[in-house]
Chain A
């Protein structure tokens, strides 16, 4: 039923969403830990700033990414000058767009998970001679990983469904940057009902499975 051309949006989507989720897990977990454990001036502003991708229209996020990463952008120019690479209209650009819009998913649930770990567990580990990295990896993370993983699943689902920011940053190049949600749009525009239905059902099933599993993870407790 699926031929090679129809399969490429799926492969691109899995690659982009998978890598974006990995980036969001690492960055989101670190940021969430800082927000939940450290008190510093401007913490509320940083929290609001990191939540922006959740509330801003994806096209606005895409615009910001172009401003920063584009040919004339602060980082974009630097990348072009020293490495000769441009992220615009590449799948790597799509990864960046997807990881930024899915970052708040990880931060929100990881922060709640960290805040649910009683500081006395960490203090107990410290009195038992453990260094701070050891406290984090042996106590805090094992007690919070369910929340982080649930956030990661939401992030993956969000990254899979990314449309606006990806379109603006990476474009809609079939076989290169065309993800599932972009392919669906094109299929509907072209009147290819069969293809659009296949893609829609496929995307819906993956997202439902993700939601069920992330719900399960959040419910189980010690």
Chain B
């Protein structure tokens, strides 16, 4: 009888990283559905195209690195990156924009650092920021919510056959920002922008964010993520927004508007929670997410960009190791937790 010899434990949970990642992908489906409902098929096309680009890039570089391609593709990490970036891109994005962004995210931000688990920055956000800086116009051409394009229109936009100019419209965050940058703003002027006034937040976008919130809660319920990062993120964004709005409701957007606009919920539950590039201890994750939220609020309110999830996440990715060093939990039997580098 040939016996297996191994070290304890001999039983392990019937789970793997691929299943973990697939859960994340499933959780994005409500958000994707709402995006399609509000803006047409652009996001779906983006996500599918992004997944193809990601898998091909990943496979090429796994081969170049001499790794088992099937084994590593099965961890679904490249798919998650592609889905998140595809969701973040405007539904008007042409094919090359996605190609550049996703291939850069997979090849440079992930594989060149050593593949899954070794990347210091969130690959999807690296790709997003690359595109945002390189192609600012293409990256800000969103559609008017509630007026979804047909699949043909979306496909023509994707292939570049249809010019974007006639179709594009501003997002609520863009509108709010443009209104304030024009000069003095009165309450009535703000009221004139219908897009700013949906049921409880920006028109259309409130439903997108609500869908991502639901997907995020699913992830928490499945213990794929913990509550620390989403809560920290939303608190970091919502609390300053609340304070500022109480002080000056005209100058500052209200907290619900902040929380349910742009990439807030996608960022809180799907982007900032990327475990590889985030802080790892519970307290560290809370601090990490709080600072992301705060940065988003600061950039939205005072910075040059209408949204700021990608920049904030990348900035805090930089700080994650530092945060980890100072947020070690108190180990059983120790009076206090260890701090800093050994």
Asked whether A and B interact, the reply is no
Q: Which residues does B use to contact A, with CB under 8 Å?
A: none
